[in-house]
A = this chain, B = another copy of it.
Amino acid sequence: MEEITNYRCTVSVTLDIIGGKWKSLILWQLSFKTLRFSQLQRRLSKVTQKMLTQQLRELERDGLIHRKVYAEVPPRVEYSLTPMGQSVVPILQLMCQWGKDYLIATEQSAAVECAPTLKRIEV
């Protein structure tokens, strides 16, 4: 008989916070530079406006991103990583590298890049 103890695995804590459908990709983009709403939307070519807004709100609520509104017409909103948000970047870097290695290992590596200088994501 195995000893069983209930506990909440902190891996799932992390998944609750950055595991949302678009959250990792949003954080990854913001790790390179502060971006406006429309810039994020262009980089994540498949997100709908509704989803992007929703995911941004949750990331803001959880303290990972900062939302700065400029009192201008037309309105401008810039999103950036908080220190807490920056602390997840090492995880994303590992994921980026692992994905690259995986594609190479499975020989699907043609025409794949993940450099911050490139601007649009095909998800």
Contacts and interface: CB of A to CB of B under 8 A. Distances in A.
Interface string A69-103: 00000000000000010011011101111111111
A14 interface: yes
Interface residues of A, number: 51
B13 A103 contact: yes
A57 interface: no
27 contacts: A5-B118, A5-B119, A6-B45, A6-B120, A7-B113, A7-B114, A7-B121, A8-B121, A9-B96, A9-B114, A9-B121, A10-B95, A11-B24, A11-B28, A11-B96, A12-B25, A13-B99, A13-B102, A14-B99, A14-B102, A15-B24, A15-B25, A15-B95, A17-B99, A87-B101, A91-B94, A91-B95
Interface of A: 2-15, 17, 19, 24-25, 28, 39, 42, 45, 63, 84, 87-88, 90-92, 94-103, 105-106, 111-114, 118-123
